[in-house]
Amino acid sequence: MPTLTAEEVQRYKRHLVLRDVGAPGQQKLKAARVLVVGAGGLGSPLLMYLAAAGVGTIGVIDDDHVSLDNLQRQIIHGTPDADRPKVESARDAVHRINPLVNVETYAERLTAENALDLIGRYDIVADGSDNFATRYLVSDACYLAKRPLAYATLGAFDGYVSLFKPYETTKDGTPYPTLRCLFPEPPPEGLVANCAEVGVLGPIAGVVGTLQATEMVKEILGIGNSLAGKLLIYDALAPRFEIVSIGWDPDNPLSGNMPTIHDLSIHRGQGRRACAAE
């Protein structure tokens, strides 16, 4: 476990006095390797809070460039970053927050060909994408690579957060669910509108992405009760939070009793913008 420098002790002292974090917990954060898929609305608070928390290595993959219509919710980018690759803009913002963090950038799409290799380099993954092709690719790849997945998605005025680690079991021996236990297959292309079509209230991304970052930090530290086996629903207009249970589906095609998905071949050729972010 890496030791903390004098600068890190000063920087993270509000963590160090926390009973459930302390120096051992901060050392875990420093040693952690986290991958964030998408540097958009969800990726923005994710990257900023993971950096501020002292996560040692943060990978970020996104093949998109910053546009002005991103800035209403993608707060890691600024007006001068327009037309820059998102991963470069995000890297610079992370280093402004915490120059001690190592940032590994991938200005490319996440694909069936590179997902397992890339995800296998990290301890935990966060999905900040805005399309079903990427969500299912990330979920399936994390299951095959046995990596926990901090999942979140946005609606116009709501958001959803969970933690998937289906390679582990509950106390009664039942596997934890995957995304495919919720929805066995993605909806047909074009059936569900994305945020570019229906819009999203900017602060919703901040709330949901921050909840997602919190789940990741808890998982790294091994503290509290995670959202594994649960789905947190945030309704901004009500306003209210609700948590519903997700059960393992023995008939799901990925981790069920008779799985039909054994690799990522079903994802080949899917998604023109496989890393587009919320």
pLDDT digits (tens, 9 = 90+) for 58-102: 999 999 999 999 999 999 999 999 999 999 999 999 999 999 999
110-129 pLDDT per residue, tens: 999 999 999 999 999 999 99
Q: Percent of the chain scored above 90 by pLDDT?
A: 89
Share of the chain above pLDDT 70, in %: 94
* Two tokens, residue 219: 């998982």
When pLDDT is averaged across residues 19-25 and rounded to a whole number, the result is: 97
Per-residue pLDDT at 45 exceeds 80: yes
Q: Which residue has the higher pLDDT, 146 or 187?
A: 146
What average pLDDT does the segment 147-173 reach? 96
Band of residue 142 on the pLDDT scale cut at 50, 70, 90: very high
The DSSP secondary structure of 28-70, one letter per residue, reads HHHH-EEEEE-SSTTHHHHHHHHHHHT-SEEEEE---B--GGG
What is the rounded average pLDDT for all residues in the chain? 94
Please give the structure tokens belonging to residue 181: 């236990």
Residue 196 host element (H or E): helix 195-198
Question: In which element (H, E) is residue 139 found?
Answer: helix 132-145
Report, in this order, helix, strand and coil percent for the chain, each rounded to 5. 35, 20, 45
Does residue 50 carry a pLDDT above 50? yes
| Three-class SS state of 149 | strand
Specify the pLDDT at position 195.
63
User: Could you give the angle at which helices 22-31 and 202-221 cross, rounded to 10 degrees?
Assistant: 110
User: Going along 38-164, which residue ranges are E strands?
Assistant: 57-61, 102-106, 124-127, 149-154, 158-164
152, β-bridge pairs:
161
Tokens of 244: 């519903």
CA distances from residue 159 to 80, 111, 217, 265 in whole angstroms, order as listed: 29, 25, 19, 30
Q: Using the predicted structure, report yes or no on whether residue 271 has a pLDDT greater than 70.
A: no
Show me where the domains of the chain are located.
32-254
Strand partners, 102: 57
Asked if residue 191 has pLDDT above 90, the reply is no
186 pLDDT tier (thresholds 50, 70, 90)? confident
Is 277 a residue whose pLDDT tops 70?
no
End-to-end distance of the chain based on CA atoms, in angstroms? Answer: 35
In sequence order, the 6+-apart residues with CB closer than 8 A to the CB of 218 are 224, 226
Nearest alpha-carbon partner for 87 in 100, 76, 71, 97: 76
**3-class SS at 136?**
helix
What pLDDT is recorded for position 198? 77
Instruction: Please tell me the distance from the alpha carbon of residue 116 to that of residue 32, in angstroms, as a whole number.
Output: 18
Alpha carbons 4 and 162: distance in angstroms, whole number: 31
Give the pLDDT score at 275: 46
Superfamily (CATH H level) for 32-254: NAD(P)-binding Rossmann-like Domain (3.40.50.720)
The average pLDDT across 26-55 equals 98
pTM score over 0.85: yes
